[in-house]
Amino acid sequence: MTLRTGLIALSLATVGALAGTSNANAFTLGGHYDGAEFDALGVEIPWAAETRIGRVGDHEINIHDSANDANNRVQANYDDWVSGEAVDFSLTFDSLNNLLTYTVAGVEVSKSEISQDSFSDLYIRSSARVDGASMVVDNLYLEDSTMASAINDISSAACVGSVGCGYFDADYLHIADITGDFTLTGQSTMSWADGSKPKNSQLAYQIKLVEGDNTTESVPEPATLSLLSLGAFGVILRSRRSAA
């Protein structure tokens, strides 16, 4: 192999490795499910963040575990919903401090001592269970340890019919392959017919979290690749001099 040929091959290998680094473990969209389809998946949901029009005298914002145990739930009151008005929210996972933080319209709740080291998937569930009501979760943006990107999809549900709608009429938007700590931001919009504001969780959305396996593909960092390139260049140069 000539020096020039070796350098070209080395450069191509380095560029290929860098390209692999930029695309490794990027999160993806996994599609939509209704309530029955989601239940059939059989996925375990150790934690969920929820926003709803609450039961009379009850809370509207919470982080709860799979059992929705009141002793292991953090919650806050919020009853300033306006039909058709978008409300900002964010959900952050901090693995270093074992902390989930959920903020809705500036109201923050946080759950510490999360036993999970990572979360690999999110299912955003929207539900509307009273005639004339709708729930939309959109303008989503996700940042994890590998990338940050707007999510060009929404979770939405609308109820049309005098008998109302039930549990299985929900819409689940699946976001998969999340790596490391993450922050999800977005907006929710609750709408209802004039004079018939829903109650008792008839309008709600949840962000359901699936535990990850805390393993990622090992990819050399760009600085490491540069050192490897220099080392390989030295080997090629010494071989050329020896052959001279």
Q: Give residue-wise pLDDT tens across range 82-109.
A: 999 999 999 999 999 999 999 999 999 9
Q: Which of 77, 215, 71, 189 is nearest to 133 (CA)?
A: 189
How close are the terminal C-alpha atoms of the chain, in Å? 13
Query: What is the tens place of the pLDDT at every residue in 165-222?
Result: 888 899 999 999 999 999 999 999 999 988 788 888 899 999 999 999 865 444 444 4
How far, in Å, CA of 144 to CA of 134, rounded? 30
Residue 194 pLDDT? 83
Asked whether the beta carbons of 209 and 64 are under 8 A apart, the reply is no
For residue 49, pLDDT over 50 is answered with yes
**Rounded mean pLDDT, 155-161:** 91
pTM: 0.78
Query: What is the tens place of the pLDDT at every residue in 221-239?
Result: 444 444 434 444 444 445 4
Higher pLDDT, 195 or 110: 110
How deeply is 75 buried, as exposed, middle or buried, from its count of CB atoms within 10 A (0-12, 13-18, 19+)? middle
3-state secondary structure of 99: strand
Residue 24 pLDDT? 54
Residue 197 pLDDT? 87
The whole-chain average pLDDT of the chain stands at 83
User: For 25-220, which CATH class?
Assistant: mainly beta
How far, in Å, CA of 89 to CA of 209, rounded? 16
Residue 162 pLDDT? 59
What sign results for the dihedral spanned by CA atoms 69, 72, 78, 84? negative
Which residues touch 55 (CB under 8 Å, ≥6 apart)? 199, 200, 201
3-state secondary structure of 39: helix
